[in-house]
Structure 1
Amino acid sequence: MAEFSRRVFLGGAAMAGLSACANGVGGNGGATIDARVDATRDYLFGRYPGTADLARNAKGVLYMPLVTEAGFGIGGGYGRGALRINDVTVDYYSATRATIGFQIGAQQYAHALFFMTEGALTEFRRGTGWAVGADVRYATPDQGASIGKETTEIDPVVALVFGQSGLIAGATLGGVKYTRIIP
């Protein structure tokens, strides 16, 4: 049992290190994050025009321009982004993801959370930041999909994952921790 625990710890540490390196930790000041959020927002609105209306109706939008995730049995992911209200950055957040289950591969993707009510936005900003879920997912360079729900995807929050690249397959149980940061 001690050997398994050591492997779990070392595997998780390796995944976190890989995820952090791929996201340029240390070089992500507020201006850099804002520039990435602008590019992500523009891509999202250009590729999926209905999302511009969704953002206009939202009380706030959390954009995570780049989340890097890798897993082999145990997985981890990391990314940084910004919460915007009326398209103005009010807070910066990191997203740390941990998963366990059948999985193999690595991927990068962007995601956005649209908070459609003041209550949902307030709850997110004051809450612990955890979202738990179970999913079956895949991503290839040409396409990506996710079948599953997270607690943040229940109305009045709309979650969109887009721009997937990499190769990952699996069925996992995991969680995401959104943490307010000072870049």
Structure 2
Amino acid sequence: MTLISRRNFALSALATTTLSACGNGIGGSGASVIDARADSTLTFMYNNYPGTRDLAGKASGMLVMPVVTEAGLGIGGSFGRGALRIGQTTVDYYSAAAASAGLQIGAQQYSTVLFFMTEQSLTDFRRASGWAAGADIEYALNSTGETLRAETTTSLAPVIAVVFAQAGFRAGATIEGTKYTRIIP
């Protein structure tokens, strides 16, 4: 049996976060890389959660974040890059960064797609210098596409966030806010 000290655990968590960040769009990713990852993410989402096709058809636009990496040990954070799509066209690129504090431990990666269900919510997002996810966003975290479809297609929320493809482990209770900022890849 191996005894893991807090220092070794913290160093392991830092190394894991650093290495996992290499695949989330932090290192060496231009527009073509982000677009390719966004295409792959949408294909995965549509194949595994068929109800999201209807949601996409009703949305004014979608922010596709292919990989968001999140880690925390008391204090945590997350980061990812993605593409804003209107129809099939990428119109802008964004980063998502979050900080959190509370009882937490672990690291994970996941994909998320923000569906802007009204023209006004999309316009507000695009005009903001930095947009923070707030009370007008509804999260859909279900593991089955049919349940996801039933809940999200009847929602009246101006923005719906679908979170899927989680990998890793993170546990705890935190206070967190995510800020989306336009970038030039």
- TM-score, length-normalised on structure 2? 0.76
SS in 1 for 2:33: helix
Give the equivalent residue in structure 2 for 1:51. 52
Shift of residue 21, structure 1, vs aligned partner: 3.9
Residues 1:46 and 1:22: Cα distance change in structure 2 (over 3 Å): closer
Shift of residue 22, structure 1, vs aligned partner: 4.7
8 Å CA contact 2:25, 2:81 repeated in 1: no
Tell me the alpha carbon deviations over residues 23-81 of structure 1, each in whole angstroms, 9 at most, x when there is no partner: 25231100000000000000000001110111011000000000000000000111000
Shift of residue 159, structure 1, vs aligned partner: 0.7
Structure (1/2) with the larger strand percentage? 1
Deviates more, 1:121-130 or 1:41-50: 121-130
Alpha-carbon distance in 1 for matches of 2:121, 2:25: 30
Give the equivalent residue in structure 2 for 1:172. 174
Give the equivalent residue in structure 2 for 1:125. 126
Alpha-carbon distance in 1 for matches of 2:23, 2:43: 22
| Count of matched residue pairs | 153
- TM-score, length-normalised on structure 1? 0.77
Alpha-carbon distance in 2 for matches of 1:47, 1:71: 28
Give the equivalent residue in structure 1 for 2:33. 32
Alpha-carbon distance in 1 for matches of 2:172, 2:25: 26
Which segments of 5 or more consecutive residues in structure 2 lack a partner in the other structure? 1-13, 136-142, 144-154
Please provide the CA RMSD for this pair.
2.5
Alpha-carbon distance in 2 for matches of 1:21, 1:37: 16
Tell me the alpha carbon deviations over residues 84-134 of structure 1, each in whole angstroms, 9 at most, x when there is no partner: 00121000000011100010000000000000110000111112312258x
Alpha-carbon distance in 1 for matches of 2:174, 2:104: 7
Which segments of 5 or more consecutive residues in structure 1 lack a partner in the other structure? 1-13, 134-141, 143-152
Alpha-carbon distance in 1 for matches of 2:99, 2:157: 23
Alpha-carbon distance in 1 for matches of 2:52, 2:126: 22
Residues 1:24 and 1:117: Cα distance change in structure 2 (over 3 Å): closer
Q: Kindly, what percent of the aligned residue pairs are identical?
A: 59
